[in-house]
Amino acid sequence: MNDSLLHLYELQKVDRHLDELIDSRGELPDRVNELRRQVEDQREQVEQVRRDRHDIETRSRELSAEVLDLREKVDRYKAQQFDVKTTREYDAITFQLEDAQRRLHTNTEAVGRMGIELEQFKMDEGQMATDFADMERELDESETALTEVLAGTEEEEKELLARREELAKQIQPYYMTIYNRVRPAKNGIAVVAIKNGVCGGCFNAVPRQLALELRKGEKHAVCEYCGRIIVGEPIAIAVDGEPEPVTYEVESEEENSDL
């Protein structure tokens, strides 16, 4: 068997594994970052609603105090109307009374409106706080998963990289050159095995003569359709082991009987 081809086939397997490993991290860090951003946005929104509610409460308290004050004034002016000595005094008191009544009316309406607004704010705030708690929990879970993924793959990555280095040393530069050129262009797969007479990469038929030549595992072929390096079955078996026989699950008679 051609050792260089054997190592090349295994290198492909190792690199595929490394690609998958990096892919598995690829989405999670992005997801965690996205969630962190969302949680921060939500936190700011909750705080803004809280500030707005406090402002309305403060304003409402001020207006309510004014309402009490104005009520007293209205009562006082009404009492004073009976004590006046001149028409001029009466007109002046009436003017003040009417002004106080007008302001009392405006403020009372405003306090009522604020009460409705406050109820809405409290409901929004409650909903936002619930959403915020959900988002924080999701972030927490994703962060834990990311930590686990990183911890669980770091060791594996190190082992794969060490194996990769070992293999690369034992492969003819000629193969490495083709490998390095084809891999990026072919979705990370530059070396495939022939399977039932077809290229394992693009599933186009390998010419009969080439297929025969691949049988001993001494030679390689280059797929005329996808340009990948094709190795013979003995090499694939040496690296991957015997292919698993295809089995179909057969429903038992017993399971079918109650249908």
List residues near Zn ion by CB under 5 A. Answer: 199, 201-202, 223, 225-226
Measured from the CB atom, the residue of 194 and 239 that comes closer to Zn ion is 194
Measured from the CB atom, the residue of 93 and 211 that comes closer to Zn ion is 211
Least separation in angstroms between CB 157 and Zn ion:
29
Measured from the CB atom, the residue of 6 and 210 that comes closer to Zn ion is 210
Least separation in angstroms between CB 16 and Zn ion:
16
Measured from the CB atom, the residue of 8 and 199 that comes closer to Zn ion is 199
Cβ contact 91:40 at 8 Å: no
Tokens of 81: 């109307």
Residue 220 bridge partners (DSSP):
231
Classify each residue of 160-181 as buried b or exposed e, where b means 16 or more C-beta atoms within 10 Å of its C-beta.
beebbeebeeebeeebeebbee
Least separation in angstroms between CB 200 and Zn ion:
8
Least separation in angstroms between CB 203 and Zn ion:
7
Measured from the CB atom, the residue of 21 and 202 that comes closer to Zn ion is 202
Tokens of 126: 């409650």
Measured from the CB atom, the residue of 147 and 204 that comes closer to Zn ion is 204
Distances (CA, A) of 87 to 83, 95, 100: 11, 12, 20
How far apart are the C-alpha atoms of 2 and 8, rounded to whole Å?
10
Least separation in angstroms between CB 208 and Zn ion:
16
Least separation in angstroms between CB 182 and Zn ion:
10
Q: Tell me the three state secondary structure of residue 59.
A: helix
* DSSP 8-state secondary structure symbol assigned to residue 226: T
What are the percentages of helix, strand and coil residues in the chain, rounded to 5?
75, 5, 20
CA torsion sign for 53, 54, 56, 61 is: positive
